[in-house]
């Protein structure tokens, strides 16, 4: 076992986080103080031809009037409209974004989303060659504004010619933050946004530069120096000793050695049970012997999105110093065809002793998660376990890229996730977790389970039902075994499987959602962990 304390710096590829201005640079005097910001992003409420700037402070009345006069002749009226004004009040560029009609004060999640989108649209509209330091209006919602500003700045151009690389802007808060119920701030928004950008960066990296080994090094590097975080990297030998044959069976077709990343964050009380997180980390999914068609196969570099969002969330949770304990594990491997690869029909015995007939080597995610889920749920006594995986194309068919699907045995866990998703506008939809979907996977002639439901119907649901068989305490009785006597829901471990295949990437840029790998739902995971802090 290689043990890497997070404090040890590893050389990794660099990650472009948005550099915040120091807290002392917070200025509400702007427009009369050009040394701080040379561009400003402002929100404005529009109601027909009536326009009102959201910020009540930081703008002199003369400047305010100049802005309103210019907007009056710029046909500025619908939510999402953006106009860039030049040389106003001593600032080179002012991007004004319409927020639509004003919102009632008690709708924090809506205000946050409005601020998120407005900050992103404003930043994207600036002519960035000419400016460096951007003040972002925080008067609607500071946390949302920071998230939008940070998320809109993501780019992955380090592999391009330096001349075509996009310039990074400094962003800082402008005007007076709105009071909130949640206690979220500009600083928390920066952390949430940066965490998602981190997941985006891991997912976007090409598979030759983000192998299982490089993934662990990169994550250890990113978490280095964070308080209460310990990173351990396990290798193939360790997986063998732990009987993780399902993971080993997927990894063995590849030349790249597998890794199993284990991260502990101890922000809570010494003996408090941890939250468990598990992330699918297939750094490239070719399908194996059941080879995928070449169409869009390149997207399968993002098949480690579960592992990436878990790593991003751990970064955020520890940066926020949340008072919780977390254990996160990510099994990492490539799924490749070769003379050594697992073949359709091969039978393996997973860590929990169940035998699996591998009917389709492209249904590999459930195999590596089987061992990771059993390892985490049987070893660390977690209060709850959430796994994230780009698991099935069927999930994309069912929900597209708006909601991620959640399969869970716990109403409480569902409610918290649902609420967290509302706050972040990275939402979840509950899907059925039911043994009815398991039947067809119990019909193997030679093993306890096969890894493929019959036909394509309900593919996301059968994958979830399969995974349940590997969560300690939740598996259904084997053939010939008596069913468990009690059906005591209270005694059960709370588990949620989140299929993120549909939200893995976005085809187009709109606001803070940008084209490419999404890093979703990193922010919702941090918000979920924060919800225990209230």
Which residues are known to be catalytic?
292, 366
Q: 459 touches which of Zn ion, ligand BES, none (CB within 5 to 8 A by kind)?
A: ligand BES
Three-state DSSP class for residue 387: strand
Interaction between residue 418 and ligand BES (CB under 6 A): no
- Whether cis (ω within 30° of 0) applies to the bond prior to 521 is yes
**Rounded to the nearest whole angstrom, what is the least distance from the CB of residue 455 to ligand BES in the complex?**
10
Query: CA 1 → CA 210, 241, 260, 261, 434, distances in Å?
Result: 21, 11, 10, 11, 38
Residue with token string 């949302």: 144
3-state SS assignment for residue 449: strand
Closest CA to 415 of 326, 315, 502, 532: 532
Query: Which residue from 66, 12, 20 is spatially nearest to 42, judged by alpha carbons?
Result: 66
Residue 175's region, left for phi above 0, alpha for psi from -120 to 50, else beta, is left
Task: Indicate whether 364 belongs to the interface with ligand BES (CB under 6 A).
Answer: yes
Task: Determine if 390 is a binding residue for ligand BES (CB under 6 A).
Answer: yes
Give the CB-nearest residue to ligand BES.
393
DSSP state of 273: P
Residue 123 CA to its chain's centroid (Å): 22
Cβ-based nearer residue to ligand BES, 115 or 310 = 310
The entry of ligand BES, Zn ion, none near residue 341 (CB within 5 to 8 angstroms by kind) is none
x/- site string to ligand BES, residues 161 to 200, per CB under 6 A? Answer: ----------------------------------------
117, 190, 197, 392: which one binds ligand BES (CB under 6 A): 392
| DSSP assignment of 68-89 | HHHHHTTT--STT-EEEEEEET
- How far does CA 47 lie from the centroid of its chain? 35
The answer to whether 365 contacts ligand BES (rule: CB under 6 A) is yes
Interaction between residue 303 and ligand BES (CB under 6 A): yes
Q: Which is nearer to ligand BES, 66 or 330 (CB)?
A: 330
Region from 94-102, 109-117, 361-369, 480-488 binding ligand BES, contact rule CB under 6 A: 361-369
Could you say which of Zn ion, ligand BES, none residue 469 binds, taking C-beta under 5 to 8 angstroms by partner kind?
A: none
Q: Biggest alpha carbon distance in the chain?
A: 83
405 is an interface residue for ligand BES by CB under 6 A: no
Strand partners, 322: none
Among 363, 385, 525, 526, binds ligand BES (CB under 6 A): 363
DSSP E strands in 291-412: the ranges are: 325-335, 347-349, 355-357, 384-389, 404-408
Is 285 one of the binding residues for ligand BES (CB under 6 A)?
yes
Smallest separation, CB 15 to Zn ion (Å): 24
Smaller CB distance to ligand BES: residue 230 or 360? 360
Phi, psi angles (nearest 5°) of residue 365: -60, -45
User: CB 364 → Zn ion: shortest distance, Å?
Assistant: 5
Which of 108, 362 has the CB closer to ligand BES? Answer: 362
- Asked if 183 contacts 289 with a C-beta cutoff of 8 angstroms, the reply is no
The footprint of Zn ion (CB under 5 A) covers: 282, 285, 303, 362, 364-365
For binding to ligand BES (CB under 6 A), which residues are involved?
A: 285, 303, 360, 362-365, 390-394, 396, 452, 459, 501, 504
């Amino acid at each position: 076992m290689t043990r890497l304390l997070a404090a040890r710096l590893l050389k990794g590829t660099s990650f472009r986080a948005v550099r915040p201005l120091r807290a002392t640079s917070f200025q509400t005097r702007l427009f009369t103080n050009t040394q701080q910001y040379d561009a400003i992003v402002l929100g404005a409420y529009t109601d027909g031809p009536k326009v009102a700037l959201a910020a009540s402070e930081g703008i002199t009345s003369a400047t305010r009037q100049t802005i309103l006069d210019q907007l009056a002749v710029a046909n500025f009226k619908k939510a999402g409209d953006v106009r860039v004004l030049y040389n106003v009040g001593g600032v080179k560029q002012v991007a004004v974004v319409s927020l639509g009609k004003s919102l009632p004060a008690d709708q924090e999640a809506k205000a946050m989303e409005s601020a998120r989108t407005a900050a992103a649209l404003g930043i994207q509209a600036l002519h960035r060659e000419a400016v460096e330091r951007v003040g972002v209006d925080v008067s609607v919602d500071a946390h949302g504004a920071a998230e939008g500003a940070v998320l809109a700045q993501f780019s992955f151009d380090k592999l391009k010619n330096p001349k075509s690389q996009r310039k990074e802007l400094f962003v800082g808060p402008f005007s007076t933050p709105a009071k909130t119920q949640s206690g979220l701030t500009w600083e928390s928004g920066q952390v949430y946004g940066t965490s998602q950008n981190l997941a985006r960066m891991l997912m976007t990296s090409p598979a030759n530069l983000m192998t299982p080994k490089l993934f662990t090094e990169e994550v250890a590097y990113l978490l280095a120096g964070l308080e209460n975080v310990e990173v351990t990297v396990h290798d193939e030998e360790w997986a063998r000793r732990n009987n993780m044959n399902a993971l080993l069976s997927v990894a063995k077709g590849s030349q790249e050695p597998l890794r199993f990343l284990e991260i502990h964050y101890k922000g809570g009380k010494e003996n408090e049970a941890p939250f468990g997180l598990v992330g699918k980390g297939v750094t490239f999914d070719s399908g194996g012997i059941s080879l995928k068609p070449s169409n869009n196969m390149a997207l399968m570099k993002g098949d480690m999105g579960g592992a990436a969002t878990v790593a991003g969330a751990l970064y955020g949770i520890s940066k926020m110093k949340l008072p919780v304990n977390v254990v996160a594990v990510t099994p990492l491997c490539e799924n490749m065809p070769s003379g050594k690869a697992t073949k359709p029909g091969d039978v393996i015995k997973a860590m929990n002793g169940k035998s699996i007939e591998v009917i389709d080597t492209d249904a590999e995610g459930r195999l590596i998660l089987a061992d990771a889920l059993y390892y985490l749920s049987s070893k660390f006594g977690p209060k709850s376990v959430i796994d994230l995986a780009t698991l099935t194309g069927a999930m994309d068919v069912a929900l597209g890229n708006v909601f991620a699907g959640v399969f869970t045995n716990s109403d409480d866990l569902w409610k918290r996730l649902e609420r967290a998703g509302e706050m972040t506008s990275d939402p979840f939809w509950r899907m059925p977790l039911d043994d009815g979907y398991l039947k067809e996977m119990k019909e193997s002639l030679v093993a306890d389970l096969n890894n493929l439901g019959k036909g394509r119907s309900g593919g996301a649901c059968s994958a979830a039902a399969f995974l349940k068989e590997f969560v300690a305490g939740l598996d259904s009785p084997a053939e010939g075994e008596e069913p468990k006597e009690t059906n005591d829901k209270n005694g059960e471990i709370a588990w949620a499987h989140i299929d993120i295949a549909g939200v893995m990437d976005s085809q187009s840029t709109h606001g803070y959602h940008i084209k490419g790998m999404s890093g979703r739902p990193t922010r919702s995971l941090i918000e979920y962990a924060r919800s225990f802090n209230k």
